[in-house]
Structures are given as C-alpha cells and as structure tokens.
Amino acid sequence: MAPAEREEALYPLPVDPLLALTALQKGGALLVFTGVAAPVIGLLLKRVGGGWETMGGGPFAILNERLSQKGASPPTVDPAIQAAEVRQMLEAKSERRRQRGEEPLDVEAETERLLAAERPRGEEAMDAELRAEVRQLVVVRNERRLREGLEPLDVEAETDRQLADFIGSN
C-alpha cells in the first residue's frame, strides 16, 4: 500500500483545511463557540428535561436538606433540655480549665447567667421593640404634620391607638 493510500485510509475526512487555520482564526472559532454555542447549550439543558435543577443532587446532597428545611420554622427547644445541655457544656469547660491548672468555673452561676441572657428575647422584648418602632413612626408623622402646619398628635396615645389597631386586625 502506498503512503498516500495509507493516509487516506487513516483519515477519511480531509484534514488539510482544519490544519490550515491560522491562530487568529482558531481564536475566533473559540470565541464564537464560547460566546454563542456554550450559552445556547446551557439554555437547552435548563429548558429540556430539567437537568439544571438536578445537577449535584442525589441521596447524599446537601441540597435535599435545604429543600426540606426551607418552609419549616426553627424547631422549639425544651427549656429543661436546653438547661441540661448548657450545664453539661459548662461542666466540660470547667473540667478542662481544672486540668490546665486554672480555676474551675462556678457551673451553676454561669448556667443561670447564660440562661437569663436567653430569656429577654421573649414576647416582652418583642413587644417593647414593636412599641419603640411604632413610636418612632408616630414621631416622624408628627414632624411631617408640623411642617404642614397641622396640630401634632399625642405621641403615647397615638402609639397605643396604632398598636391596638394592629393587634385588633389579626
């Protein structure tokens, strides 16, 4: 078999035009591919078959955990369990300090201090924050009324009225 025939058998398609491209032409082809073809392929993958949403999914994916927790409210913690866990962590911290030769913690006092810091964020604190926010709105409204030449409102009475309206609207 002649060398030309052997080359035709190995490469049935003409190779010369592809090899004849200049570096500038090859760069242009690369830009066209990345600028046009790749986004079109990405859009097709997204629209056809929903492959984009399942990317990275599976039984061990973190995505599954996020989807299941998305609409759920944070779990409530039993105060007794929370107190027991805080006490346990403080006892471990105190033991580590004792092993290092430092003074151990007063576990009971520290537990009370930490748990007391959690309690003010209850309903009373939320009510106080809501009242303060409504009061700020009433003060701003009074400033606007004064600029318009109207008589100002009683700030505390208006705050109470708006809170009553808000609570009554539920």
Q: What pLDDT was estimated at residue 125?
A: 58
Phi/psi for 26 (5° steps) reads: -65, -40
Find the helix or strand (DSSP H, E) in which 95 lies: helix 79-99
- pLDDT, tens digit, for every residue of 13-53? 555 666 777 888 888 888 888 899 888 888 887 777 666 66
- pLDDT, tens digit, for every residue of 67-115? 555 555 556 777 788 888 999 999 999 999 999 999 998 999 998 888 8
Please, what is the Cα angle at 74 between 73 and 76, to 5 degrees? Answer: 115
Q: What pLDDT was estimated at residue 170?
A: 47
